[in-house]
């Protein structure tokens, strides 16, 4: 585990990205935990692994983990061997407080402007942009194989929390 690096996209949902209580590196670490949780439904990376990845002290990582847990984004389970901690399992908690997204824009966020000049659709559309077709991402349950909407941390069919990210081109 110590040398393993994920080779897929990190998903950081809006409620984490826009949480002003979190530091920028805590948000990045949350995305890393999501990636590392993909295989088993939980992440068992050590503070040493994260400290080497982010080039900070293990104590800083410990603080980030505690803060993410305090804010309700993750939960930690400790497996003991006597009095010694054998393994820490970090699980992503489902988002119970998120607001629904309306056509891709969360209209309850402060700073949303209806007619923002520099992001006008006249200048920012597929025809005027690059020739690449936009991609649509979705989640694929690792247990039953069903596809479901991004941001749902649990398969609606079998309730598994193990998933991978799928990609298809928009038509």
Using alpha carbons, list the distances in angstroms from residue 91 to 20, 45, 115, 130, 132: 22, 11, 40, 38, 36
Does 106 map to a domain?
no
pLDDT at 47 exceeding the cut of 90: yes
CATH no. for residue 18? Answer: 1.10.10.10
- Is there a single domain that holds both residue 20 and residue 88? yes
Domain final residue, candidates 38, 64, 92: 92
Each residue of 122-150: pLDDT tens digit?
Answer: 444 445 445 455 566 667 777 888 887 76
- 2 domain-assigned: no
Is 43 inside a domain boundary?
yes
Domain containing 160: what range?
Answer: 130-169
According to the model, what pLDDT value does residue 33 have?
Answer: 93
- Model confidence at 105, pLDDT cuts 50, 70, 90, reads very low
pLDDT score at 102: 37
* pTM of this prediction exceeds 0.75: no
The number of domains in the chain is 2
């Amino acid at each position: 585990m110590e040398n393993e690096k994920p080779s897929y996209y990190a998903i950081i949902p809006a409620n984490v990205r826009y949480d002003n209580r979190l530091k920028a590196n805590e948000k990045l670490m949350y995305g890393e935990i999501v990636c590392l949780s993909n295989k088993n439904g939980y992440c068992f990376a050590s503070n040493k692994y994260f400290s080497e990845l982010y080039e900070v002290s293990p104590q800083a990582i410990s603080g980030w983990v505690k803060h993410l847990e305090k804010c309700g984004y993750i939960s930690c389970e400790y497996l003991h061997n006597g009095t010694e901690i054998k393994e820490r399992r970090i699980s992503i908690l489902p988002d119970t407080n998120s607001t629904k997204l309306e056509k891709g824009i969360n209209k309850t966020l402060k700073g949303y402007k209806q007619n923002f000049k520099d992001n006008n659709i006249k200048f920012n559309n597929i025809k005027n942009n690059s020739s690449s077709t936009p991609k649509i991402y979705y989640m694929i349950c690792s247990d039953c194989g069903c596809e479901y909407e991004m941001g749902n941390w649990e398969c609606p069919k079998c309730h598994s929390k193990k998933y991978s990210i799928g990609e298809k081109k928009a038509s």
